[in-house]
Chain A
C-alpha cells in the first residue's frame, strides 16, 4: 500500500511487447503478482490475454440476462393486456389467453431487450464515450492498432509502486517501459 513514491499526474506504467504470446505471458505474471488495475492492449482480440487479466469476470452477462428477461416479460404482458384485458376478441373460438401465438413477439422482445442491454451496458461499463484517455500520451501507443502489444499497470492499483513496478515490468522482457502521464 505504498503510495509514497507515486508522483501525482502519473496514470501508470506501460510496457511494450513483441507479440501476443509475450503479452499474455506478461499479463499472467502481472495478475499473479497481485496487480488488478491493469489492462492489455493489442491490435486484435486475444482471448487468453483477457482471461489472464481477469477481464472475463464482469457483470455484463447479468446485465444482458436482466435486459432479456425484462424484454421478454414486457412483450408477453403487452400481448396479455391487449388480448385479455383491453380488447378481447374471439379469434376462431380460441381462449383469450392463447399463449402459443404470443411466443414469437415474446421471443423477439427478449432478443431486443438483451441486445439493447448489451450495447448500453457495454457503453456504460466501459465509461464510453470517453474523449480523453491517458494511454494515448505514450507516443508508441499509436502502434496498438497495427503491431503494438502493450500492458499497462495503473497507478491506482494498491500494489503500484513507481520503482518496484517498473523493475517488475522490466523483468518480463518488454521492448520498452514508459511512464503514462495523466
Chain B
C-alpha cells in the first residue's frame, strides 16, 4: 500500500510497450542458445559413439520438453475455464510454451528414425520371435503409429493456434465478452481432446518401450508430471520477471502463493496416480504387470526408485506444506529448479530400466536432454518476446492493475 492512498487507488497505467518482454529475456535466450549449441555438439558425438545410449536419452529429453509444451497448453485451457488473476498474468507464458508445438513436431523426427533402437515392436526379428508382439501388431505397427503421431501434433497445434488467434483478437480490442466465451468453449473441448491424445501419445512413445506391459492410468501419470514440469518452469520464469519493473508489481507474493499451491497439487496428483498404479499392480500380482516394478527394484535400479520417491514426492511435499515458502519467489524458484531435476530423474526412471540392463549413468543421459531442453527454451523465449507479456485488454486486467498500483514491489 502506498502510504497516502486511503481512498480508492487508481489502477497502474501500463502501455503495450511497458509490458513487452524486457531486454533481459533476450540475454537469457542467448545464453540458452549457447548451451544448446554446446550440448548439441556433445550429443552429436554421442550419436556416433553409442546409439544405444543416444536414442533413449533423446526420448527422455523429448518427453521433458513435450511436458513443458503440452503442460502449458493444458494449463492455458484450464486457466481460460477457471479464470482468476493467476490465469491472466500467466496466459502469455503458457501461450508461448504451447506455441513451441511445431518445434516439438520437428524434434520428434529423430525418435521416428531411431525407432528400431528404442522399440521392440519396430524390429521385425523381435516380432517374429515374440507371440506377444505379434498380438500387438494391429496397434503397434509403423504406419498406424506414424499416423497417430501426426494426429496428436495436428490436434495440439490446431488448438494452440485457435487459442492464440483469439487471444490476439482480444489484444486488438475486438470481441469483448463473446470472444471470452469462445475462448472458454475452445478450451473445454480442447482439454478433453488434449487429455485423450496425450494419453495415447504416452502409450505410443513411452509405455510401448515395454510392449507386454500395460497400465490404464499411465497416460494420466504422464499428464500430471507434465503439469508439474510446467508449473516449475513458470515459477522460475516469474521469479526472474519479478525482479524487473513493472513486472515486480504484477508477480506478487500472492501470485507465487498460487503457483506454489499449483505445485503442491501436481506433486500430490502425480504421487496419487503413481501409487494407484503400484497398488493395483501389486494387488493383482500378475507376472506381465509386475515386470514394470521388478525392473525398477532389481539390477541396481532401487536407488533411483528411492531417489525418485523421496525427491519427486516426499521432499517437495513436506516443503510445500509451508505457506510462507510458497510466497517467497526466490525459495520457490529454487524448489522449482530442484523439481525440474526430479522431472528428469522421473523420466530416466521411466525410460531406462526398460531399455538398459543394469542401472548406470551415461554422460549422454544428461547432455542430450540438456541440448533438447535448451533448444526448447530458445524457442519458448522467442515466442515470449513476440507479444506483450500481459493481455492488457482482458476484462480482468483492470483489477490486477488496481491491485498492482498498491502492491509492494516484490
Q: Residues on A close to B: CB < 8 A?
A: 18-19, 21-22, 24-26, 28, 47-48, 56, 61, 65, 92, 94, 100-101, 103-104, 172-173
User: Which 4 A-B pairs rank lowest in CB-CB distance, beginning with the nearest?
Assistant: A22-B6, A100-B282, A173-B6, A25-B1
For the complex, what is the distance from the CA of A172 to the CA of B5, rounded to whole Å?
11
Q: Residues on B close to A: CB < 8 A?
A: 1, 5-9, 254, 275, 278-279, 282-283, 285, 321-323, 406
A47 with B254, Cβ < 8 A, contacts A25-B1, A173-B6 known: yes
Partner of B323, one of A25, A61, A92, A173: A61
Knowing that A26-B6, A47-B254, A94-B285 touch, tell me 14 more A-B residue pairs with CB under 8 angstroms: A19-B8, A21-B5, A21-B6, A21-B9, A21-B406, A24-B1, A61-B322, A61-B323, A92-B285, A100-B279, A101-B279, A103-B275, A104-B279, A172-B6
For the complex, what is the distance from the CA of A21 to the CA of B9, rounded to whole Å?
8
A-B interface pairs (CB < 8 A), number: 39
| Nearest CB in chain B: distance from A179 CB, A | 23
Contacts of A61 in B (CB 8 A): 321-323
Contacts of B322 in A (CB 8 A): 61
Contact A21 B8 (CB under 8 A): yes
A22 with B285, Cβ < 8 A, contacts A65-B321, A101-B279, A104-B279 known: no
A22 with B254, Cβ < 8 A, contacts A103-B279, A104-B279 known: no
For the complex, what is the distance from the CA of A42 to the CA of B8, rounded to whole Å?
17
Contact B7 A21 (CB under 8 A): yes
Residue on B with the closest CB to A92?
B285
Q: Interface SS of chain A: helix, strand, loop or mixed?
A: helix
For the complex, what is the distance from the CA of A101 to the CA of B285, rounded to whole Å?
13
9 CB contacts below 8 A, A to B, read A19-B7, A21-B6, A21-B7, A22-B6, A22-B7, A61-B321, A65-B321, A100-B279, A103-B279
| Nearest CB in chain A: distance from B224 CB, A | 17
Contacts of A103 in B (CB 8 A): 275, 279
Residue on B with the closest CB to A17?
B6
